[in-house]
Amino acid sequence: MASTVTALCLTRDRRDWLPQAIACFQSQTYIDCKMLIVVDGENIADLIPNDPHILLVQAPGNPYPMTVGAKRNLGCSLADTEYICNWDDDDYSAPGRIADQISILESSGKSVAAYDRMKFTNGMDWWQYKGGVLGTSLCFRRSWWVRNKFNDQQVGQDEYFGFIAEAHKQLVKADAKDLMVASCHLSNTSPRVINPRSKSYTKMGAPDIRLMDGWLQVCLRNNFAHGGEITSKESYLVGEHACELSAKGIPI
């Protein structure tokens, strides 16, 4: 039977992150799905497991790399499923994520589903986000994409896609609960600004992290790349704001 959902993963120079994204896909409880990985940059064929449900496509990169929006459109054009789910290579998706979003779409009859409440982490500190639609969490009918393609731009094309769906009353927003976690690190494509004064982010304690242990270690390594153990107060930049972190004895 043909798959009904494509988890669309765009990746570039993220060898640390991609195996975690693949592991998240392979753990999904929704069986009728496949993963399409669109890559530009280095060859990552060695990271792709022998799984007939995982496909790798090399995006053209000459003379210049494609924008994220153009790569999303390329991936959507190659998908042959009824639904497409954004699967960012650096964010965590719990086993029930695809099942949850497909259920939302099918019960509502709408074209696009997305989370507007989600947890964020740098691997150590945690924030609860509540605000606008998060593009990383989009799940949509391919038929909607055919009529409303992503803008050919590097940043913000996924949020705009959600904005257009909302304007046409085709967007369903939901709380991600523990089904998705967004990462904050120094190489986010779109800088994720955790502004302590923002009403969109509330500091919180860590949830049950047993299922995402490997992903959290990658998150830590990408924020503190010097290796070893962090034994003193560190600061790092997320977007325009320096976030102070107190990290003692955290192995990375």
pLDDT along the chain (252 residues), means of 10: 84 87 96 94 90 94 81 96 95 95 97 94 85 92 98 91 96 94 70 65 80 78 49 32 34 30
What pTM value is reported for the model?
Answer: 0.84
Number of Cβ within a 10 Å radius of residue 178: 17
Strand pairing partners for 241? 238
The residue with tokens 């019960």 is: 107
Q: Which helix (H) or strand (E) holds 163?
A: helix 157-167
- Long-range interactions of 38-46: CB distance < 8 A, separation 24+: 38/8, 38/9, 38/10, 38/11, 38/71, 38/74, 38/75, 39/10, 39/11, 39/12, 40/12, 40/65, 40/66, 40/71, 41/12, 41/13, 41/65, 42/13, 42/15, 44/11, 44/15, 44/18
- Which of 188, 120, 133 is CA-nearest to residue 159? 133
Q: Which helix (H) or strand (E) holds 117?
A: strand 112-121
Domains in the chain, please, with CATH?
5-226 (3.90.550.10)
The per-residue pLDDT for 232 is 31
User: How far apart, in Å, are the Cα atoms of 124 and each of 96, 228, 234?
Assistant: 24, 16, 12
